[in-house]
Amino acid sequence: MASHGDPHRPFGIDFGGSGIKGAPVDLEAGDFAEERVRIDTPQPATPLAVAEVFAELLGKFPDSDGRIGVTVPGVVKHGVVHSAANIDKAWIGEDADRLFTDRTGRDVHVVNDADAAGLAEVRYGAAKGRGGLVLVTTLGTGIGSALVYDGVLVPNSELGHLEIDGHDAEKRAAASAREKHDLSWEEWGKRLTTYYRKLEELFSPELFVVGGGVSKKSQKFLHLIEIDTEIIAAQLLNDAGIIGAALYATESD
Ligand code: BGC
């Protein structure tokens, strides 16, 4: 197992709408091995422009040469991106594993952002040690989801795009919808109740974990979600993407 100071330790990159963040990860501790670095996301955030930023970011960690995990907010199968709800459409069909591997000279593995967060929360965070079906959701610009059964990820569940009452769920219930429509916590809580009830009806999970930036404020809204299943806030917050991506890369074939 990699440890602090080990050059082969994996590296995680979180590709978000406003920032691209990365750090070497200590998988034994489930934490960054060095302080994370952030670079503004280029606009437009095309695959090529993003690959340049990754190279710049990695240049700040000259001692790192392990595998790299990268989060992408879209469906990812065998390193190829298949959807782009909230990112540049140029990502659709892009073999991101190959592009980033070619650009950086490193062994890069791309993973859906919510799947990475889910892996990290189940391995190190709020759902550590929990068996059965754990459903991790991230509330941000969109809604991401990770289905993890007995610690094993079922990738690309994309439950933010469930159609509820004729609407794409994330358009109504993501954290961005609260801001855009200036909803009170109570109003947003009602929308979240509708959303989580639907998930409950479809999956009967043991536990919901709520991540995304807004989970820092979970005391303002978690109690407003009226469902029967246990629902708790994520623990790794902004670190989950980087840690989960590094974990994913390490455990990839
Ligand atoms: C995308 C997902 C992503 C989620 C959170 C959704 O719009 O379809 O792939 O996980 O946003 O970023």
DSSP secondary structure, 45-102, as one string: --HHHHHHHHHHHHHT-TT--S-EEEEESS-EETTEE---SSS-GGGTT-BHHHHHHH
8 vs 228: CA distance, rounded Å: 44
Is 85 touching ligand 1 by the criterion CB < 6 Å? yes
Q: How far, in Å, from the CA of 14 to the mean position of ligand 1?
A: 13
Q: How far, in Å, from the CA of 1 to the mean position of ligand 1?
A: 31
What's the whole-number average pLDDT of the chain? 95
Q: How confident is the model at residue 250 (pLDDT cuts 50, 70, 90)?
A: very high
Q: How far, in Å, from the CA of 160 to the mean position of ligand 1?
A: 7
232 vs 83: CA distance, rounded Å: 28
Is 46 touching ligand 1 by the criterion CB < 6 Å? no
Atom from ligand 1 closest to the CA of residue 75: 9
Fold match, 11-115+239-251 / 128-235: yes
Q: How far, in Å, from the CA of 63 to the mean position of ligand 1?
A: 32
- Residues 198-226, buried b or exposed e (16+ Cβ, 10 A)? bbbeebebebbbbbbebbeebeebbebbe
Q: How confident is the model at residue 2 (pLDDT cuts 50, 70, 90)?
A: very low
Q: How far, in Å, from the CA of 28 to the mean position of ligand 1?
A: 28
Q: What is the pLDDT of residues 174-233, one digit of tens each?
A: 999 999 999 999 999 999 999 999 999 999 999 999 999 999 999 999 999 999 999 999
Domain limits, the chain: 11-115+239-251, 128-235
Out of 41, 83, 163, mutate this one to test ligand 1's pocket (max ligand atoms within 8 Å of CB): namely 83
Segment 11-39 shows an average pLDDT of: 96
Let me know: does 20 contact 68? Beta carbons within 8 Å. no
pLDDT at position 53 is 97
Is 115 touching ligand 1 by the criterion CB < 6 Å? no
Q: What is the pLDDT of residues 83-137, one digit of tens each?
A: 999 999 999 999 999 999 999 999 999 999 999 999 999 999 999 999 999 999 9
Closest C-alpha residue for ligand 1 atom 5: 144
Is 170 touching ligand 1 by the criterion CB < 6 Å? yes
Tell me: pLDDT of 4 over 70: no
Is 212 touching ligand 1 by the criterion CB < 6 Å? no
Q: Does domain 11-115+239-251 have CATH number 3.30.420.40?
A: yes
Closest C-alpha residue for ligand 1 atom 9: 74
Q: Does domain 128-235 have CATH number 3.30.420.40?
A: yes
Q: What's this model's pTM, rounded to 2 decimal places?
A: 0.96
Tell me: pLDDT of 36 over 60: yes
Which uninterrupted H or E stretch holds 199?
Answer: helix 185-203
Atom from ligand 1 closest to the CA of residue 83: 8
Out of 92, 141, 143, mutate this one to test ligand 1's pocket (max ligand atoms within 8 Å of CB): namely 143
